[in-house]
Homo-oligomer: A and B are copies of this chain.
Amino acid sequence: MAIVLGANQYGKAEVRMVYVDRTTPVHQVTDVNVTSQLIGDFTDTHLTGANDLVIATDTQKNTVYAMARTGGITSPEEFALRLARNYVDKYDQVTGARMAVEQYFWDRISTATGPHDHAFSKGTAESRTTVVRKDGAAETVISGLTGLVVLKSTGSEFWGFPDVEYTSLVETDDRILATAVSARWLYTSSDIDWDKSFTAVRNALLEEFANTHSLSLQQTLYAMGKGALEAVPEIAEIRLSLPNKHHFLVDLGKWNLDNPNQVFYAADRPYGLIEAAIIRDDAPIAPGVWEGIAAFI
């Protein structure tokens, strides 16, 4: 029996960067959080502390900034791929790379004379995500969004569940349905119109959330995933993690008040959690491709 080093990766996490495109007086702002990690022949530093092969995490941070300067950022996916290829192509000891980018949104401020050239206000808590894995020549792109909080004030039911041990929930044919959408989808290639695909998936998710009359959050989740796959042929699989953010109808009966679905208590914890993958049955999905991706909890 021996104790040995297994899977490992290292790098710089959460490199916060704002990139300003000043090509015209109407500036564009790209706000990202980049986590860079390298995979390869790094046994020495683990066993002896010899760092000859270790591209310092500080160097990885500098590389994020320098490659933004030299090539800009057209999309999180393109930038992450460029970073990953840089390392795997350049250094023998680097056999793989994992680049994660999270993008935050900014809106142009509306002023009395129209949208401002260079003043912005921060958007919602939603962010756009991508995780690019490069293992030798193989490239995997899993993109997504998180923090998209949505709510339907009607059009949601939940009934027909079995009355088993420890069941006390009452059936309802009208409830608030609310969730914070976390989605991750697997692209079939690393040569995609990334922005167009992102927008199309996002629109499909929102459209289905809004328009599906819900009998369970599972049903809504499946409709959302199916809608995304139908709208965007270049994705092979989508994984959704949907907390059921409970809004409980307040019982005012003690004081002879009814409550026709008007007054709700928005609960923090616990919450339901519904998670599923929706896939194309003919898509070539490599085994292990989701490993290390926090798609489900």
Residues in chain A within 8 A of chain B (CB atoms) = 1-22, 27, 29, 31, 35, 37, 42, 45-59, 61-63, 65-66, 68-70, 90-91, 100, 106, 109-112, 116, 118-125, 148-155, 158-162, 164-169, 176, 206-207, 209-211, 214-216, 218-219, 221-222, 225-226, 229-230, 237, 239, 243-244, 247, 250, 252, 254-255, 257, 259-282, 290-292, 294, 296-297
Copies of this chain present in the complex amount to 4
Q: Is the CB of B255 within 8 A of A222?
A: no
Chain B residues with CB under 8 Å of A4's CB are 278-281
Chain B nearest CB, measured from A124 CB (Å): 5
Given A18-B176, A154-B118, also A59-B160 (CB < 8 A): no
Q: Is the CB of B109 within 8 A of A206?
A: yes
Q: Is the CB of A206 within 8 A of B111?
A: yes
Chain B residues with CB under 8 Å of A266's CB are 16-18, 31
Chain B residues with CB under 8 Å of A21's CB are 262
Chain B residues with CB under 8 Å of A211's CB are 111, 116, 119
5 A/B residue pairs, CB under 8 Å, sorted by A: A9-B275, A13-B269, A109-B210, A121-B149, A165-B255
Closest to A229 in B: B3
Q: Is the CB of A3 within 8 A of B58?
A: no
Of the residues B3, B19, B55, contact of A162 by C-beta under 8 Å: B55
Chain B nearest CB, measured from A284 CB (Å): 12
Q: Is the CB of A49 within 8 A of B257?
A: no
